[in-house]
Amino acid sequence: MLLTGAEIVVECLKEQGVDTVFGYPGGAILNVYDALYKHSDEIRHVLTSHEQGASHAADGYARTTGKVGVCLATSGPGATNIVTGIATAYMDSVPVVAITCNVNVNLLGKDSFQEIDIAGITMPVTKHNFIVKDVNKLADTIRRAFAIAQAGRPGPVLVDIPKDVTGAEAEYEYKVPAPIKRKSDQISEETMQEVIGLIEHSVRPFILVGGGVIRADAADELREFVSKVQAPVADTLMGKGAFDGREDAYTGMVGMHGTKTSNYGITESDLLIAIGTRFSDRVLGNVKAFARHADLVHIDVDAAEVNKNVMCKYSIEGDAKVVLQRLNEKLTQQDHEPWMRHIREMKSRYPMTYNHEVLTGPGVVESIYKATDGDAIICTEVGQNQMWAAQFYKYKEPRQFISSGGLGTMGYGLGAALGAKLGCPDRIVINVAGDGCFRMNMNELATASRYQIPVIEVVVNNHVLGMVRQWQTLFYGERYSATVLSDSVDYVKVAEAMGVDGRRVTTQKEFDEAIQWAINLKKPVLIDCMIDPDDKVWPMVAPGASIADAFSEEDLDN
């Protein structure tokens, strides 16, 4: 049938099963919005307060549902406003398709009004991007964009369409999307046997899991693998929920703010099996000292990550689900009980603790865990709030913890929470924010209010940029340069002005009551939690130090 380019865009979204898109209209993308208007009963459009909020909402939707998130923006500043969201998705391997529209083809390259080379700008932070100058190529390009976003290691893809292409006509024919195949053609059976041999001869094996396990939907295979190897399990920030945080074998997060048990355990191990993790600097600490007694096995879908940050003995390139399935088929039950007993003793010796006498970030997170029975989707901003949310909530399953890991994007969480709630309407969704981060995206409360999206915004308010101040305290002689937020901004009034109910709490008892109130209300809510500006995230590894040198507040006092 003969359709305009804008109508083809909408039909292709429907082909891909897209039911929700996030965006902000403008002149160049008007044709697409006009087409969306005619299909509003099939595709829900969520108008965010800012284009960056739309890109983060698409990201949060993708992370929680496993589907491709979609965001829309117009040319010029509309397109550039989503760049941070695209980069966030790229660093954390999130499948997002961003559709932007540009000036007419004959105006490209002439510094026309609101013209920008968005494909050039986003090239370093997308898996692929396209400029579609021929309406006859539009449908296949959008189909390719969705396929690329999901295949192998997922990531964002941008499609930029000049306005006259959205208005031109072309023949459109419906196509069923081809299934996305799991990458398995590079899996070496010989290497698999070598890895089995290492496992069988190891005395102190350790398993480290990252976000790749979640992206591959490999949690069940991981659980079987852990049981067969009989090894302790640590996770990266992006790996939260890949392995049940309540399990006896779980030791917590690894790295700069990882548990002492995870950091010490990996250092003592003789075999480290890393699955779906890229070994970022926050995980490794001092590279030369990382797992220095261990043979390292790296399982990853992306060959570019192997031997990039740390050298490994063996690598298996392939989808984590497929690799673990094949390993589980070959592996016999192992017995490492003396090692597991040692790990349990370490967990008892180095528990995660905090001051229960006053309201603290850890206390807030632990209260949320109890109030939600560990079933909520927890989104975060970046900094202390993020680390506390990672440390003190026990994540039972994948896609429960939604956070910007690689890019560390302040202002990410509230937009992501909106996307998460719309993608998973039956789940409680809570965004744990610091006051510094909340300032960057508080305008998205208006989006929550407009659509009555019942997200719970918990602001851990210490009136400082907490993580930066922590570094200034420990490493910069307490010179608090530009990190004190000593103003009179009232976040409860801000929330109320945007149509969102708000409460301020100063004690743990008040927060316990407030979080239950917020859950029962089933409306967008803000809780402003007043905590001490000098509260810190413990344990910590100093920059450049070995993870074996993790220290806590008690260590500083000794």
Please give the positions annotated as active site: 51, 113-114, 163, 467
Contact (Cβ atoms closer than 8 angstroms) between residue 390 and residue 240: yes
- Specify which residues 458 forms β-bridges with: 432, 527
Return the amino acid letter for 3. L
Round the CA-based radius of gyration of the chain to a whole number and report it: 24
494 by DSSP, 3-state: which?
helix
Cα separation, 382 vs 411, in Å, equals 8
Cα separation, 433 vs 391, in Å, equals 15
For residue 283, the tally of other CB atoms under 10 A from its CB is: 27
What is the DSSP-derived secondary structure letter of residue 281?
A: H
Token output for 223: 């659980």
How far is residue 166 from each of residues 42, 129, 138, 439, measured CA to CA in Å?
20, 17, 9, 36
Contact (Cβ atoms closer than 8 angstroms) between residue 446 and residue 49: yes
Say if residue 539 is preceded by a cis peptide, omega within 30 of 0. Answer: yes
How far is residue 466 from each of residues 460, 462, 494, measured CA to CA in Å?
10, 7, 21
Cα separation, 537 vs 455, in Å, equals 26
374 by DSSP, 3-state: which?
coil
Contact (Cβ atoms closer than 8 angstroms) between residue 312 and residue 294: no
Structure-token match 């050039």, residue found: 120
Return the amino acid letter for 272. L
Cα separation, 469 vs 355, in Å, equals 19
Token output for 16: 């891909």
Token output for 107: 């105006």
Cα separation, 469 vs 434, in Å, equals 13
Cα separation, 115 vs 557, in Å, equals 58
Cα separation, 413 vs 415, in Å, equals 6
**Is residue 171 classed exposed, middle or buried when 0-12, 13-18 and 19+ CB atoms within 10 A define those classes?**
exposed
Cβ neighbours of residue 456 under 8 Å, at least 6 residues apart? 428, 429, 430, 431, 515, 518, 519, 524, 525, 526, 527
Contact (Cβ atoms closer than 8 angstroms) between residue 285 and residue 310: no
